[in-house]
Structure 1
């Protein structure tokens, strides 16, 4: 079946996606790309962030649809749009928290100089094994909270976020206790 704009009804596309038809998902991706990415771009996001959020939303939609448990009570576009909104809201909250953490912390994980790296490495070594892993995964391997939660067997992403926050705080305290601020000022 060839997908042409307007030639396919939404019910049919949804049924095909529920059956795991990736072509139908591609069609959906193209059809709503502008609408979904505009949501992020007009709300302080970049084009790249918009694309990432949209792709993530489609993955969520795909997983729910193919599980057979999704009953649509609205248009697909409305449903996907609300997923995008929720994901973007979470991302904005995360960014806000990060910028607040950076303002609050005397020491940020800014490892531009070798000296800073050495000091941070020494302090990270003094943390517990779980804290070490959480911080390394998050800051150095740039893993998502979801991946960290799965890798370390946490109940969910909120547990991982809380653990990261506490570990970061502990690291900040260690650094402040053991080194003068002068070491961090170039």
Structure 2
């Protein structure tokens, strides 16, 4: 069956003719997308969407092919794929911006915490810094500072953390730390 015959049948609503077109040009359309940073699944989606567009235009009675049918479908696929790439790029940029914003927020919170820790007494500074920033265990902290045992270190950490929380609440609004 020639392209003109297939096109005429599609214009009359022949779904079997559309299936023939689908199989006939499938590899070409998959190559188009996969050679332009796409996956085979993305290619399938784009090709199916392109055929829906083609089917609707052909059935509207307003489509006059001035090129080969394969060229027309190829151009629909190409345009759809370009739109998808643009959408991905926008999404990727938005995602990067969100990550950058989160990192800046985290850095700001850490800076505030450091500033507040610096206002505490020396023992509290050491206990909290060793525990939260150096990742030391209660046993290591007790030995390093000279506490009698780990229970003393735990109690001191609890009290120092409570002082830190109160200081942060007093100096900064709660929404700075609720995110």
TM-score (norm 1): 0.55
Equivalent residue number for residue 30 of structure 1: 23
Tell me how far 1:70 sits from its aligned partner. Answer: 0.1
Structure 2 residue corresponding to 1:39, chosen from 23, 26, 32: 32
Tell me how far 1:25 sits from its aligned partner. Answer: 0.1
- State how far apart, in whole Å, the 2-side matches of 1:91 and 1:179 are: 37
Matched position secondary structure for 1:11: helix
Matched position secondary structure for 2:66: coil
Structure 1 residue corresponding to 2:68, chosen from 60, 75, 78: 75
1:91 is aligned to 2:84: yes
Tell me how far 1:182 sits from its aligned partner. Answer: 7.3
Matched position secondary structure for 1:45: coil
1:102 is aligned to 2:90: no
Tell me how far 1:104 sits from its aligned partner. Answer: 1.4
- State how far apart, in whole Å, the 1-side matches of 2:82 and 2:72 are: 15
TM-score (norm 2): 0.57
Q: How many residues align?
A: 107
Matched position secondary structure for 2:36: coil
- State how far apart, in whole Å, the 2-side matches of 1:178 and 1:18 are: 65
Cα 1:182–1:76 change in 2 (3 A) is same
Matched position secondary structure for 1:33: helix
Equivalent residue number for residue 147 of structure 2: none
Q: How does 1:110-121 map to 2 (within 5 A)?
A: none
Question: Which digits, 9 at most, give the CA deviation of each residue in 1:76-134, with x for residues without a partner?
Answer: 00000000000000000000000001111235xxxxxxxxxxxxxxxxxxxxxxxxxxx
Equivalent residue number for residue 6 of structure 2: 13
Question: Which digits, 9 at most, give the CA deviation of each residue in 1:50-74, with x for residues without a partner?
Answer: 0000000000000000000000000
Equivalent residue number for residue 116 of structure 2: none
Structure with the higher helix share, 1 or 2: 2
